[in-house]
Amino acid sequence: MSNIKNAFADGKAFIPFVTCGDPDLETTAAVVRAAVANGADLIELGIPFSDPTAEGPVIQEANLRALKGGVTTDKIFSFVRELRQDVKIPLVFMTYANVVFSYGADKFISTCREIGIDGLILPDLPFEEKDEFLPVCRKYGVDLISMIAPTSNDRIAMIAREAEGFIYIVSSLGVTGMRSEIKTDLAGIVKAVRANSSVPCAIGFGISTPEQARRMAGIADGAIVGSAIVKLIGKYGKDAPEHVGAYVKEMKDAIR
């Protein structure tokens, strides 16, 4: 079992997502530290990809800005190594199967272990194909985090039974992005998850306000926020850390 369980040890977890290298890795490092200082319990670090199919326009644009700025997987590995000198909370990578595959799964995942990455989220990896990466993740003690979508239906129990780290429950169909309301029967999904797994679950996609975060944390073990944070970084650039810190504090306070 990885470090991830610690994110859920003291009540509800607040999980921010940031795109590494947007606008540059120095700013990403400052954003991560500001988030940690203001109560983030686990951070998802996005490794940019040229065709991020699960992402809405906000995160797509962040991916493109980071790639244009010259960010690479190796630079992100070095960045995490430096970050780990003082950042102790769980960190997971969120990227696409092709990024891991083209780097070499064994090399990628063994490096994750070496630099202190606790888990890996691959939104384009179907549950049925996870064996392509799962044995390597287990070999190095990196949790391959499962996602459950509103369309998972009869597969929820199966996915939950085999889950590691935490379960990422996708609140809505479609791509990432802020939503004014979330209509999915999330309580039903969480109930099915809990009947089949003791692994904590957090809800993401579409959460942007303290009220939404409070509601989602009331249903699950935590709330994940990506687009709202990435949007702040896009707006404020190098000055984003203080704004992200204030936002994280407001969200964390809402779910306590």
Domain, as residue range, for 45: 3-146+211-255
**Whole-angstrom distance, CA of residue 209 vs CA of residue 214:** 9
With a pLDDT cut of 90, the percent of the chain lying above it is 85
> Distance between CA 19 and CA 32 in Å, rounded?
10
Q: pLDDT class for 83, splitting at 50, 70, 90?
A: very high
Taking each continuous run of H as one helix and of E as one strand, the counts in the chain are 11, 9
**Is position 30 within any domain?**
yes
Taking phi over 0 as left and psi of -120 to 50 as alpha, with beta for the rest, 229 belongs to alpha
Strand segments, DSSP code E, in 118-157 are 119-121, 143-145, 147-148
Q: Is residue 171 part of a domain?
A: no
Give the global pTM: 0.94
Q: pLDDT value at position 181? A: 54
Question: Is residue 226 a part of any domain in this protein?
Answer: yes
182 pLDDT above the threshold of 70 = no
Q: At residue 179, does pLDDT exceed 50?
A: no
Indicate the length of the chain as a whole number.
256
Residue 165 within a domain: no
Structural domain tally of the chain?
1
| pLDDT value, residue 177 | 45
The answer as to whether 76 is a domain residue is: yes
Taking Cα atoms as reference points, which of 68, 10, 69, 66 lies closest to residue 41? 10
| Averaged pLDDT, 15-23 | 98
Q: What local confidence, expressed as pLDDT, does residue 50 receive?
A: 85
Q: Which of 123, 67, 68 is nearest to 93 (CA)?
A: 123
Structure tokens at 17: 């997502």
Tokens 């970084």, located at residue:
233
CATH code: domain of residue 14: 3.20.20.70
In a domain, 141, yes or no: yes
Domain-embedded: residue 186: no
In a 3-state reduction of DSSP, which class is residue 24?
coil
Q: What is the mean pLDDT of the chain?
A: 93
188-231 pLDDT, tens per residue?
Answer: 999 999 999 999 999 998 899 999 999 999 999 999 999 999 99
Answer yes or no: is 85 within a domain: yes
